[in-house]
């Protein structure tokens, strides 16, 4: 299973990127009339490389520096604040003791280093870094040939259905990935501006990026990402807007932001085929996340959306068959008369 996930992770990342750049391929093929798949792949690869370099040079470096500064300067202050607040005289002291038994706030016990596990983790990272560009190149350059090869394996009487299902599944996955990426980008910009207005200053970029990144996991991710900004606000209430009510204000703004995103933004970014009930979304994340870890979280909604489109297609076929059966029975009755 671990070997399977080690290969599935870079493939999933490559697949995600391929759907993000799919509109660029369509632009090159239809508007610019460039039909050579290899040339288009090289152009897209060059564009991705330039964007990654620019992101790493500016935004990526800034986020990294802010993350290090938060861990070195802000996190110890947060720990001191809660240790002081929940002292022995506080009514919340029993709750703090209960949390302290399960989470180490200060210097914990020495950590046993598992060299084998460290080697496995480093190897997985290296494999992912190397294989993502390789998978991405072949997905972009040989997508049609891969599709034709898979279809040719299916018996002829089922190929029409297989082609239709693959088109629908491809549309669902493309709509989801593109919509999710736009949503993540918008949320990152939105919360960066909100945090700056609230007085977070240089930490605005770090926390805004976190909220945008964690938005890859709908409903749950943003509320996990908001934990650090809320904790940070407890120690900086004198400098933040709303003062002592800053933590509550941040939570309320996050809830409003999620409501706007789920009810206004996502319907604009994603087609109705990708609309899945929140309960099913959470169930899919739990199920596929348990099976495949991070990869399961990335692919949970596309897989669920594909299953949904398949069931809808089967229902359509059954409805058409029932309609045809009714028409045939009507013709038989007319012929008897």
Check: CB of residue 124 under 8 Å from CB of residue 9: yes
For the ranges 60-74, 130-144, 258-272, the lowest mean pLDDT is seen at: 258-272
Check: CB of residue 22 under 8 Å from CB of residue 144: no
CA of 261: how far to CAs of 108, 190, 266, 277, 319, in Å? 40, 11, 6, 15, 35
Give residue-wise pLDDT tens across range 300-317. 888 888 888 888 888 887
Check: CB of residue 299 under 8 Å from CB of residue 288: yes
For the ranges 62-71, 143-152, 184-193, the lowest mean pLDDT is seen at: 143-152
Overall pTM surpassing 0.85 (yes/no): no
Across 117-126, 312-321, 327-336, the highest mean pLDDT is recorded for 312-321
Give residue-wise pLDDT tens across range 189-239. 989 999 999 999 888 999 999 888 888 777 778 888 888 899 999 888 888
Return d(Cα 231, Cα 81) in angstroms, integer: 10
Tell me, what's the pLDDT at 193? Answer: 92
Return d(Cα 118, Cα 111) in angstroms, integer: 13
**Position 161 pLDDT exceeds 70:** yes
**Position 23 pLDDT exceeds 80:** no
Instruction: Tell me, rounded to whole angstroms, the distance of Cα 149 from its chain centroid.
Output: 29
Calculate the average pLDDT of the chain. Answer: 78
Tell me, what's the pLDDT at 307? Answer: 86
Rg of the chain on CA atoms, in Å = 26
For the ranges 53-62, 89-98, 108-117, 207-216, the lowest mean pLDDT is seen at: 108-117
Tell me, what's the pLDDT at 306? Answer: 84
For the ranges 146-155, 159-168, 319-328, the lowest mean pLDDT is seen at: 319-328
Give residue-wise pLDDT tens across range 263-275. 776 666 665 556 6
**Position 106 pLDDT exceeds 50:** no
Tell me, what's the pLDDT at 213? Answer: 85
**Position 43 pLDDT exceeds 80:** yes
> DSSP of 22-86, one letter per residue?
HHHHHIIIIIS----HHHHHHHHHHHHHHHHHHHIIIIIHHHHHHHHHIIIIIHHHHHHHHHHHT
Tell me, what's the pLDDT at 325? Answer: 62
Q: Percent of the chain at pLDDT above 90?
A: 4
Tell me, what's the pLDDT at 111? Answer: 45
Return d(Cα 200, Cα 194) in angstroms, integer: 9
């Amino acid at each position: 299973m671990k070997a399977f996930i080690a290969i599935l992770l870079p493939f999933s990342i490559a697949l995600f990127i391929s759907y993000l750049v799919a509109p660029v391929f369509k632009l090159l093929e239809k508007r610019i009339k460039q039909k050579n798949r290899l040339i288009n792949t090289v152009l897209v690869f060059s564009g991705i490389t330039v964007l990654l370099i620019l992101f790493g040079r500016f935004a990526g470096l800034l986020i990294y520096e802010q993350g290090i500064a938060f861990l070195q300067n802000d996190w110890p202050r947060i720990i001191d604040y809660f240790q002081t607040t929940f002292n022995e005289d506080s009514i919340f002291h029993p709750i703090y003791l209960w949390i302290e038994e399960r989470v180490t706030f200060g210097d914990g016990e020495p950590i046993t280093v598992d060299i084998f596990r460290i080697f496995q983790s480093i190897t997985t990272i290296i494999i992912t870094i190397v294989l993502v560009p390789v998978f991405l190149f072949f997905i972009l350059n040989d997508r049609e040939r891969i599709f034709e090869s898979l279809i040719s394996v299916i018996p002829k009487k089922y190929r029409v259905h297989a082609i239709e299902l693959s088109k629908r599944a491809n549309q669902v996955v493309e709509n989801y990935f593109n919509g999710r990426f736009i949503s993540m980008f918008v949320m990152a910009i939105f919360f960066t501006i909100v945090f700056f207005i609230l007085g977070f200053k240089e930490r605005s970029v770090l926390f805004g990026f976190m909220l945008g990144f964690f938005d890859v996991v709908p409903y749950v991710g943003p509320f996990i990402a908001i934990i650090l900004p809320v904790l940070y606000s407890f120690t900086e209430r004198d400098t933040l807007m709303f003062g002592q009510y800053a933590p509550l204000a941040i939570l309320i703004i996050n809830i409003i932001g999620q409501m706007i995103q789920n009810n206004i933004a996502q319907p604009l970014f994603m087609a109705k085929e990708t609309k899945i009930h929140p309960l099913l979304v959470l169930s899919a994340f739990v199920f596929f996340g348990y099976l495949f870890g991070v990869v399961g979280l990335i692919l949970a909604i596309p897989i669920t959306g594909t299953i949904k489109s398949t069931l809808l297609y089967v229902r359509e076929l059954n409805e058409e068959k029932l309609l045809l059966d009714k028409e045939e029975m009507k013709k038989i009755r007319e012929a008897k008369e």
